[in-house]
Structure 1
Amino acid sequence: MRQGQCNLRVNDKVEVIAGKDKGRVGKILRVERDKNRVFVERINIVKKHQKPTDASQSGQIIEREAGIHLSNVMLVCPECAETVRIGKQILDDGTKVRICKKCKATIESAK
Structure 2
Amino acid sequence: MRIKTGDTVKVITGAYKGTIGKVTKAFPKEDKVIVEGVNMVKKHMRPTQQDPEGGIIEKEAKIHVSNVMLYDEKAKVASRIRMEEKDGKKVRVYKKTGAEVK
Q: Verify same fold: TM over 0.5.
A: yes
With structure 1 as the length reference, what TM-score do the two structures score? 0.85
Cα distance in 2 for partners of 1:20, 1:52 equals: 31
What code does the residue aligned with 2:4 have? R
- Please tell me whether residue 33 in structure 1 is matched to residue 7 in structure 2: no
Residue in structure 2 matched with residue 63 of structure 1 by the alignment: 58
Q: CA-to-partner distance for each residue in 1:36-69, whole Å, 9 max, x for gaps?
A: 1000001111000011236x92331011100000
Partner of 2:93: 99
8 Å Cα contact 1:39/1:67 also seen in 2: yes
Q: Note if contact 1:13-1:25 (Cα within 8 Å) is conserved in structure 2.
A: yes
Q: How many pairs does the alignment contain?
A: 101
What displacement does 1:80 show?
1.6
Moved runs in structure 1, 4+ residues, more than 2 A?
A: 56-59
Task: Report the 3-state secondary structure (helix = DSSP H, G, I; strand = E; otherwise coil) of the residue aligned with 2:88.
Answer: coil
Unaligned runs of 5+ in 1: 1-5
* SS, match of residue 61 in structure 1: strand
Tell me, yes or no, if the aligned pair for 1:14 and 1:76 is still in contact at 8 Å. Answer: yes
Q: Tell me the equivalent position of 2:79.
A: 84
SS of the equivalent of 1:104 reads: coil
- Percent sequence identity is 42
